[in-house]
């Protein structure tokens, strides 16, 4: 799954366009490497987002096959 879509589906960032913009500005890192929105995400990847004067790091636990409910979104990742 693409990075921008994962960020949107997991509700880490509310909109895919915002996820694209943040990634293009170099404020999203996957395994400590700057990541483009099209980067393919795998399980056990570490994603760090520097957005709105805060930084969050998460570990990807599973990749969804499509959109999921709001209640299921936190089960996709684990905060570090």
Structural domains of the chain in order of their starting residue, each with its CATH number = 3-79 (3.10.290.10)
User: What is the SS3 assignment for 15-37?
Assistant: CHHHHHHHHHCCCEEECCEECCC
pTM score over 0.85: yes
The two tokens of residue 71 are: 């209640």
Q: What is the pLDDT of residue 52?
A: 77
Query: What is the share, in percent, of the chain residues with pLDDT greater than 90?
Result: 72
Q: Give the tens place of pLDDT for each residue, 17-33.
A: 999 999 999 899 999 99
The two tokens of residue 55 are: 């930084």
45 vs 27: CA distance, rounded Å: 16
Long-range pairs of 74-80 with CB within 8 A, sequence gap ≥ 24 = 74/10, 74/11, 76/6, 76/9, 76/10, 77/10, 77/12, 77/47, 80/46
């Amino acid at each position: 799954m693409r990075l921008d879509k994962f960020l949107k589906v997991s509700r880490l960032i509310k909109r895919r366009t915002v996820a694209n913009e943040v990634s293009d500005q170099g404020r999203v890192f996957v395994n400590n490497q700057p990541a483009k929105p099209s980067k393919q995400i795998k399980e056990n990847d570490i994603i760090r987002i520097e957005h709105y004067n805060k930084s969050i790091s998460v570990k990807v636990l599973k990749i969804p096959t499509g959109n999921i409910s709001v209640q299921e979104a936190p089960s996709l990742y684990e905060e570090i």
